[in-house]
Amino acid sequence: MGRLNHKTALITGGTTGIGLATARLFQQEGARVAITGQDEGRVAQAAALLGPTALALRADVASRTEMEAVARRLQDEFGGLDVLFANAGIAQPRPIAEVDADHLDRLIDVNFKGVVHSVQTMLPLLRNPASVVLNATTMIERGIAGMSIYSATKAAVRSLARSLSAELVHRGVRVNAVSPGLVETPIYGKLGLPPEAVKAWAEQLLAGVPAQRFGRDDEIAKAVLFLASDDSSYVLGENLLVDGGVATV
């Protein structure tokens, strides 16, 4: 018996990496899954991979209007939600001296406002009980040069997991966060840096990972599954580090 049998789940940023791996795992565990993504091509590719039982929607979490449209579609298709994984996010390293208004706005719009929009628009659909998992990062636990704005937006997400837990527990909604470390996902190809610069930066960060390797997106997905399922029914407001020991060893 799957741990998510007869349950419905929405995964934002579900077309690649951690989001897609989580969608596939949720399906294996019995859930009916919906995903969102910004790029129409990647949405179509993910839809083909997940099959006809999945719902793949193009939507930008930074737009409340687009997330409201997602909520209406899910109401029609699913009738309600048991799990929300607010996973969509972007990482764009930049020295603080080079941070401009566009960079600041984009990271805040996607990484923080996008989580708020996702929770707000899906709140009327969340059943009792339900689980909300927010994607943060291990970088909130230590200082990483060039990642100040990204880390700050993710620290805000971790804070939301605590405060929303206190606010929504009376509705039977559990809220937790997962904080991945260095993971082999396509996000590194979206940094806006030359491939050689990405490789050098990743190798520098990898030197600080006690496990001496990158994580895999399916390893993060398993942690999300734990927080989404009844296995974590007594876990509330927690931040689960899945980082090869970066923040604790």
Positions marked active-site? 150
The answer to whether 13 and 157 have CB atoms below 8 angstroms apart is: no
Phi-psi category of 171—alpha, beta or left, where left has phi over 0 and alpha has psi -120 to 50? alpha
- Taking the CA atoms of residue 163, residue 164, residue 167 and residue 170 in that order, the dihedral angle to the nearest 10 degrees is -130
Q: Rounded to whole angstroms, how far apart are CA atoms 171 and 96?
A: 40
DSSP state of 6: T
The answer to whether 24 and 85 have CB atoms below 8 angstroms apart is: no
Q: Rounded to whole angstroms, how far apart are CA atoms 229 and 184?
A: 25
Structure tokens at 26: 């949720």
